[in-house]
Amino acid sequence: MWFLGWKGASGFSASSTAEQVTQGIDGTALTAIVTGASSGLGLETTRVLASRGVHVVMAVRNVDSGKNVKETVLKEIPSAKIDVMELDLSSMASVRKFAADFNSSGLSLNILINNAGVMATPFLLSQDNIELQFATNHLGHFLLTNLLLETMKKTVRECKQEGRIVILSSEAHRFAYREGILFDKINDESGYNSYFSYGQSKLANILHAKELARRLKEEGVEITVNSLHPGSIVTNILRYHGYVNALANMVGKYFLKNVQQGAATQCYVALHPQVKGVSGEYFMDCNKADPTSLAKDSGLAKKLWEFSSSLTNPK
């Protein structure tokens, strides 16, 4: 059981659950996409948002697993509105297909939660020959967000209600490579460190949120973009490190958050009225937090945007 009950300005703490931070909020007019929705934080986020009336589109690699989750949630919440769509964030072709299918579906888009991720993988390349953690955790979400943005803008205009983009980062952004983002060595296997590369991808998540928030504000669009650290949680994200994963599962219940607590911050940032109009911030334990100086570097954020655009634009 998570033992830190200190409450911040929001009135919530590290021990608050996703259900608690969304208590009493009516989301029946909203539609959300949640990536990585078939397990861990994504599953709990899907369940809680659906329980608040939100129409949730589960964006998942394994459609069968997604459908099983949908059936489980429907047994608990028969009124839940849930769709399952295939999305592999490590494949730009898959991201483009998902976005095209969603954009042509006629559905609104009020909330986008970029939740999916991989952690500390051995050196692997994505289908597009980009280091897997950078490709999945940052680049896939960067492309997805850009491709869905017009639909979200249209929803904002029609519903006259703020749109929200929520990007999961991590305190691991503090342990990226010393330079932050290795633009010229993204695919350099010789200098690869699985944990630093994970930190690099999580730093990229914060920088992405900062730069997109700046651009949307400059454009005068009512869409907020925030990043967050969900907390240290036992999920299957450490599946590439068997011994560490086993140890985490054994002792985690005493020192780490459970999934209900872990999903709280993203549900808070996605739904809570306290976050209205707040953009370009980094959250932890349902409160604003202070990331590293690299994460606040506007020049680095712009450079990353240009780099990401060059990698995702069709040649």
In angstroms, the CA 263 to CA 141 distance is 19
Q: Amino acid letter at 258?
A: N
- Determine if residue 120 is left, alpha or beta; phi over 0 gives left, psi from -120 to 50 gives alpha, anything else beta: left
Q: In what order do the strands lie in the sheet with 287-289?
A: 82-86, 55-60, 31-35, 111-114, 163-168, 223-229, 282-284, 287-289
Burial 68-90 (b: 16+ CB within 10 A, else e): ebbeebeeebeebebbbbebbbb
Closest CA to 283 of 14, 3, 50, 4: 14
Active site residues: 192
Please say whether the beta carbons of 266 and 153 come within 8 A. no
Structure tokens at 56: 């949730």
Proportion of the chain in helix, strand, coil states, percent, rounded to 5: 50, 15, 35
Residue pointed to by tokens 């897997």: 132
264, exposed or middle or buried, with CB in 10 Å at 0-12, 13-18, 19+?
buried
